[in-house]
Amino acid sequence: MAAALTLEGVNKRYGGFHAVRDLGFEVGKGSICGFLGPNGAGKTSTIRMILGLQPATSGRIEILGADDGRKVRDRIGFLPEERGLYKKMTPVDAIAFFGSLKGVPLGEGRRRAREMLDAQGLGAAKRKKMKELSKGMSQKVQLIASVVHRPEFVILDEPFSGLDPVNQQGLEAMIRGLAADGATVLFSTHVMQHAERLCDKVVLLARGRKAFEGTVDEAKATTRRFLELEGAIAPEQVQGLPGVAEVEVAADRGEVRVIRAALDRGAQGQEALKAAFLGGLDVRRFDLREPSLHDAFIALTGDNPDQDQSVKPAGQEAAR
Amino acid sequence: MNRILLIARREYAAYAKTVGFWLSLLAFPLFAVLGGAVPILIKSSEPIRAVAVVEEGPEASGLAAAIRNALARDVERRQERERQANEAAEKATGMPMAGSSAAKGAFARLSGPRLRIVETPPEIAAAAPGAAQDEIVRRYLTDETPEADRLDAVVFLSREADGPAARVWTARATDDTVEDFVRDALRAANRKALFEGAGIDPAVVESAESFRPDIAVFSPKSVSGGEVSLRDKLPTIIGMAGGFLLWSLIITGASILLNSVMEEKSNKILEVLLSSASPTEILAGKVLGVALLTITVLLAWGGIGAAGLLSFAPGQAAMVGDILLTGGMIGWFVAFMVGGYLMYAVLFAAIGAFCETPRDAQTLMGPIMMILVIPIMTMSMAMTTPDAPAVKIMSWVPFFTPFLMMARLPSDPPMLELIGAMAGMFAFALFMVWLSGRAFRAGALSDVKLSWRSFAGAIRGGGN
């Protein structure tokens, strides 16, 4: 798959603060790529460099064949992390205005806006002012504003933040729709579940450095499966089972315990389970759990993606 | 270019479509009219003070009559002045004095007497001078006495060795109207007595006092090349008005821009805009959009002013038109407006890019507003003494050039000075565009709190 975006050895410094370190990855045309990491990991700085809003301190960025995002501005759609539209404008006018800046004539922009708002179930909100819309509605309007010009590359910075589960689901469907129409999508998030459901590829970022680049399955394969056993059993008994690497007591209710066993890499867990039953262990419940992307992230970086890594050096611009 | 126009169009429509914009636009001329009319109305509604006059002893005989005569002469003089003013206005406008009877009543009251002599209450007249009499007077000046009988002042007249004297009791300690009037009246009475004592005919004295010389002023620089007329004084008034108009238009426009950028920053719109247009395009579009708003304001104010002038003083309207168009003043006005607006607008926009609330902007806006007050304070000086070295030097300071040069324009400053100061202003305006452009670019994506240090850092870094 040809690359729509390539980063090589990209660094970003704000004075003495090193926000992005030697970052390199590729995003294939027409794919959905998740750009994952906790708040403050350097995602927003990287996105701004891709868009050409901020220059990289060093390194090379190529997007849609251009060495500067500003040169292909009209072919890119961007939804920033902190969002807002003109409060006194109607959604149709706001969408048409931002479309016009990307080369869509105002009349055509209005037509597309009405069509897209209807498709998103926002037909009733067309004549309202932006300030009268709910947060979920205005977020959808903003996403429409960022793609009304039918961009080839869509960059979404934390698109799910602040949305309720129903709207998150709707947004996921919109992102899938964009990719189905042939657009390349790069979205940043610190919530791994969205990436797990949506992405063809993920790039994991921690403290400004790339921790992983590959598919979701490849990311999961880097970590262990878990076997959870509940019953009148001792940790030492579980530790002795085949393929078990580490055990921990997840819950202790006197005689009955919940023991979580991390399996050796490549181990499927059936052997351990079989040995447990054959060995006569008093197992009352068991659960063989696949590792999640969240687990993979922790395993790969040693960080929790839900923890904020923001650093705001005195007198320097905040790197997000 | 297209993006600049799109941003300008949105910026213009965002304000021009609001009722508030048109209300505030009309508020200025309305308040200007009110500002002129209110003092007149206050003056005309001033109560006529009831004054009792008491002669203390036979030596003071005739002083009360002198006060009454002075009051009568004052009324005559005021009526004469009113008549002359009406005649001058009719001559200037070519129209009879229009206006409602209420307005005429208000002006008549303005020229009417400010006090009236009333019958002295017998209690006061009969009382012997001293504490008891003072007590009675106090009662008549306060609400111990019913309003119908209450007095505003009691004047005790006496004659000392060196001339007439008076003790004035007034209801309000801060009101010196009666005191001033009595002083003038006694001075005139004394003068009259002295001249009469010297054997001069009272009619001669009266005639000498009422004489007003007719003075005509001539200047080689007057329009006619001889006698100076209203036509020669109008450019100075227009220059001064133009300076103030420029000041208020530029500050209004720059403030709109500051608020607009601040709103976009706080609503997180700037980052979206930046992904669609370059910082230069955004800044240029916003500056252009607000410039169009400012022109709208100028046209509306100019239209209202022209309509008012044509309705009430068509003669002067023709003169003003002549000065503005054939005198070239309008061309200078436009040039100073463009340069001045550009200079302040980009600076305010750059400050706005760092701020989310007006409080954030205070750090930098405070000193800038202090600088902006200077031309307002010096503009009248530039009009009366346009060649004063301080005024000349200050009009070369780009931040003051548009306002002070506009005020100096009627005094025909040397062309070299005019062109030089204007060139300096435009050069500085372009420097400000470059400087503010860098700051705007950095501020738009920055979370840093605005300070002189961060602003200077942003200009140095230019957002990189």
Sign of CA dihedral B321, B327, B331, B337: negative
Q: For the segment A55-106, what is each residue's pLDDT rounded down to a tens digit?
A: 899 999 999 999 999 999 999 999 987 777 888 899 999 999 999 999 999 9
pLDDT of residue A221: 81
Please determine, for residue B95, whether its predicted confidence score (pLDDT) is greater than 80: no
B386 vs A58, residue with greater confidence: A58
Calpha distance A259→A249 (Å, rounded)? 5
Q: Which residues of B touch A101 (CB under 8 A)?
A: 3, 6-7, 273, 276-277
User: What's the confidence (pLDDT) of residue B90?
Assistant: 64
How far apart are the C-alpha atoms of A9 and A21, rounded to whole Å?
8
B424 pLDDT higher than 90: yes
With an 8 Å Cβ cutoff, the interface of chain A facing chain B consists of 48, 51, 53-55, 70, 73, 76, 78, 80, 82-88, 97-98, 100-102, 142, 145-146, 312, 315-318
pLDDT at B152: 92
Nearest to A86 among B14, B453, B464 (CB): B14
Q: Check residues B210 and A231 and name the one with the higher pLDDT.
A: A231
Q: What is the rounded distance in angstroms from the CA atom of residue B337 to the CA atom of residue B359?
A: 28
What is Dmax (Cα atoms) for chain A?
75
Q: What is the pLDDT of residue B461?
A: 65
| Residue B463 touches partner A, C-beta closer than 8 Å | yes
The average confidence (pLDDT) of chain A is 87
| pLDDT number for residue A305 | 61
Search chain A and give the residue with CA nearest B267.
A84
From chain A, pick out residues whose CB is under 8 angstroms from the CB of B447: 312, 317-318
Mutate to test the interface with A, among B276, B449, B455 (most CBs of A within 10 A): B276
State whether residue B362 sits within 8 Å of chain A by CB: no
Q: Which of A299-303, B180-184, B351-355 has the lowest mean pLDDT?
A: A299-303
Distance CA(B263)–CA(B357), nearest Å, equals 8
- What integer pLDDT is reported at residue B140 of this predicted model? 92
Question: Cα separation of A77 and B329, whole Å?
Answer: 50
Task: Look at residue B309 in the predicted model and tell me its pLDDT.
Answer: 82
The conformation of residue B47, written as its DSSP 8-state character, comes to P
Listed by start position, the domains of chain B span 2-33+229-461, 50-210
Q: How far apart are CA A14 and CA A289, in angstroms?
A: 42
What is the predicted pLDDT for the residue at B112?
65
Cβ neighbours, 10 Å, residue A66:
15
Residue B363 confidence (pLDDT) above 80: no
Quote the minimal CA–CA distance from A85 to chain B in Å.
6
- Give the pLDDT of residue A308: 62
Q: What is the pLDDT of residue B107?
A: 55
Question: What pLDDT, on a 0 to 100 scale, did the predictor assign at position A150?
Answer: 93
pLDDT of residue A117: 92
Residues in chain B, total: 464
Q: Is the pLDDT of residue B350 over 90?
A: no
Angstroms from B18 CA to nearest CA on chain A: 10
Q: Could you say which of 1.20.5.510, 2.120.10.10, 3.30.70.260, 3.50.30.60 is the CATH number of the domain covering A225-290? A: 3.30.70.260
Q: Using alpha carbons only, how large is chain A's radius of gyration in Å?
A: 23
- Is the pLDDT assigned to residue A23 strictly greater than 90? yes
pLDDT confidence of residue A255: 85
If you search the block for the tokens 């006005």, which residue do you land on?
B333
pLDDT at residue A200 above 60? yes
Residue A309: per-residue pLDDT = 56
Q: Which of A51, A70, A317 sits opposite B446 (nearest CB)?
A: A317
Give the model's pLDDT for residue B244: 86
- pLDDT(B1) > 60: no
Q: What is the pLDDT of residue B212?
A: 77
pLDDT of residue A317: 42
Mean pLDDT of A268-276: 87
End-to-end alpha-carbon separation of chain A, Å? 30
Give the C-alpha separation, B152 to B137, whole Å. 10
Q: Which residues of A touch B273 (CB under 8 A)?
A: 101
- The domain over range A3-220 is classified in CATH as 3.40.1790.10: no
pLDDT tens sequence across B11-27: 999 889 888 888 888 88
What φ, ψ does residue B345 adopt, rounded to 5°?
Answer: -65, -45
Lowest mean pLDDT among A74-88, A155-169, A294-308, B404-418: A294-308
Per-residue pLDDT of B444-457, as tens digits, reads 777 666 677 777 77
Q: Could you tell me how far CA A309 lies from the centroid of its own chain?
A: 16
> What percent of chain A clears pLDDT 90, i.e. is strictly above it?
41
Mean of pLDDT values over B88-95: 58
Q: What is the mean pLDDT of residues B394-401?
A: 91
- Chain A touched by B176 (CB under 8 Å): no
Distance CA A5, CA A184 (A): 9
Confidence of residue A304 (pLDDT cuts 50, 70, 90): low
Average pLDDT, chain B: 83
Residue of B nearest to A102 (CA): B276
For residue B100, the model assigns a pLDDT of 45
- The model's pLDDT over B104-132, given as tens digits with 9 standing for 90+, comes to 555 555 566 788 899 999 988 888 888 88
Residue in B3, B271, B463 nearest the CB of A80:
B271
Chain B residues whose beta carbon lies within 8 Å of the beta carbon of residue A312: 447
User: Does B6 contact chain A (CB < 8 Å)?
Assistant: yes
> For residue range B238-275, what is the model confidence (pLDDT) as tens digits?
888 888 888 888 888 888 888 888 888 887 788 888 88
Q: What is the pLDDT of residue A180?
A: 92
Domain extents in chain A: 3-220, 225-290
Q: What does B270-325 look like in DSSP terms, one character per residue? A: HHHHHHHS-HHHHHHHHHHHHHHHHHHHHHHHHHHHHHHHHHH-HHHHHHHHHHHH
User: CA B315 to CA B331: how far, in whole Å?
Assistant: 23
Give the Cα separation of B206 and B188 in Å (integer). 10
Q: What is the pLDDT of residue A313?
A: 43
- CA dist A292 and A184 (Å) reads 25
Are B268 and A83 a contacting pair at CB < 8 A?
yes
The confidence score (pLDDT) of residue A92 equals 95
Percent of chain B with pLDDT over 90: 17
Give the one of A101, A312, A316 whose C-beta lies nearest to B3's C-beta.
Answer: A101
Work out the angle between the directed axes of helices B401-408 and B230-266 (0-180°, nearest 10). Answer: 170
Quick: pLDDT tens for A254-267. 889 999 898 887 78
pLDDT at residue A124, rounded to an integer? 87
B267 Cβ under 8 Å from any chain A Cβ: yes
Q: Which residues of A touch B276 (CB under 8 A)?
A: 73, 98, 101-102
DSSP state of B94: S
- Option in A84, A101, A317 nearest B6 (CB): A101
* Nearest chain A alpha carbon to B274: A53
B3, B263, B271: best to mutate for the A interface, most A CBs within 10 A = B271
Residues of chain A in contact with residue B271, where contact means CB-CB under 8 angstroms, are 53, 80, 82
Residue in chain A closest to B261 (alpha carbons) equals A86
For residue B158, the cross-strand partners are B165
- Tell me the backbone φ, ψ of residue B156, rounded to 5 degrees: -100, 115
Instruction: Measure the CA–CA gap between A144 and A110, rounded to whole angstroms.
Output: 12
Q: What is the pLDDT of residues B432-442, one digit of tens each?
A: 888 888 888 77
Among residues 7-66 of chain B, which lie with CB inside 8 Å of chain A? Answer: 7, 10, 14, 18
Report pLDDT for A316.
Answer: 40
Mutation test of the interface with chain B: which of A53, A146, A312, choosing the one with the most B Cβ atoms within 10 A? Answer: A53
pLDDT at B138: 92
Single-letter amino acid code for the residue at B58:
P
pLDDT the model gives residue A87 = 86
Q: How far apart are CA A101 and CA B255, in angstroms?
A: 25
Q: Which residue of B has its CA nearest to A151?
A: B276
